[in-house]
Chains A and B, each alone.
Chain A
Amino acid sequence: GNSVTQMEGPVTLSEEAFLTINCTYTATGYPSLFWYVQYPGEGLQLLLKATKADDKGSNKGFEATYRKETTSFHLEKGSVQVSDSAVYFCALNQAGTALIFGKGTTLSVSS
C-alpha cells in the first residue's frame, strides 16, 4: 500500500541555518505530494504541494520538488527563523482518497 517515510527528528538548528527534511514515498501511479506544518497548539496547515513529477512547491521560503525517479519530496529552506519551529508532516494522496501522513519531524530553531 501507499506510505510516506520522513526523517525522524527532532531537528535542532540555529537561526539562519539551512534546513532539509527528507521525505520519500511508496505509491502506485502518480500521487499528489504535500507538506503540512503544525505549530504548537494549532491545527495542520498546508505549507506547499506538488501534483506531478518535477513540480516544485514553494511557500514562505520553503521549497520541495517532486522527484519521481527517487520517489522523494524533500523540504528545504535556505534560512530558518525561530518562528519556523513546528512539526512538519509529509503526506500524499491519490484520486481524492484520504491523506497518508509521515510520522512528522519536529523542528526547533534557536536564536
Chain B
Amino acid sequence: GAVVSQHPSWVICKSGTSVKIECRSLDFQATTMFWYRQFPKQSLMLMATSNEGSKATYEQGVEKDKFLINHASLTLSTLTVTSAHPEDSSFYICSARPTGLGFEQYFGPGTRLTVT
C-alpha cells in the first residue's frame, strides 16, 4: 500500500513551452502533497506544499507564477512548469501524506525534466 505515482517519468521540452507533471496517490487519499526539486548529486529542496482545495504555499525563492500547482482532488496534484528554460531542468519529486494518518509521507519516483 501507500503508492505514489508520477507522470511522466521523464520529459524533454523546448524552451518557452509549458510542462505538466502529475502526482497521484494510488491507494490512499492525501490532503497534503509536497513538491521537491533535486539537482544532480544534491539534496531535495522543498518547492511548495499543496493542500487539496486551497492555494499552494510556496517556499521562499520559488516563483509561484512559474511553477503552478493545482491540488484539485484528494488523489491528484499537478505541477506545471510554465515558459520553461534550460535552468528549470531538474528532477522533480512529489510526496503525499495520507489524510488523518499521522505525518508519514510517501514519495513518487520522480520526473526528470530536460529543457532544450
A positions within 8 Å CB-CB of B: 32, 36, 42-46, 49, 89, 93, 95-104, 106
Chain B residues near A89: list those with CB within 8 A.
Answer: 43-44
Chain A residues near B95: list those with CB within 8 A.
Answer: 44, 98-99
Chain A residues near B46: list those with CB within 8 A.
Answer: 98-100
Chain B contributes a number of interface residues (CB within 8 A of A) equal to: 19
Q: Report whether A43 and B43 are in contact in the complex, using a CB–CB cutoff of 8 Å.
A: no
Chain B residues near A95: list those with CB within 8 A.
Answer: 103
7 contacts between A and B (CB under 8 A): A43-B108, A46-B104, A93-B103, A99-B46, A101-B44, A104-B41, A104-B43
Chain B residues near A96: list those with CB within 8 A.
Answer: 32, 97, 103
Having A42-B109, A95-B103, A102-B43, one finds 4 other A-B pairs with CB under 8 Å, namely A49-B104, A96-B97, A98-B34, A99-B44
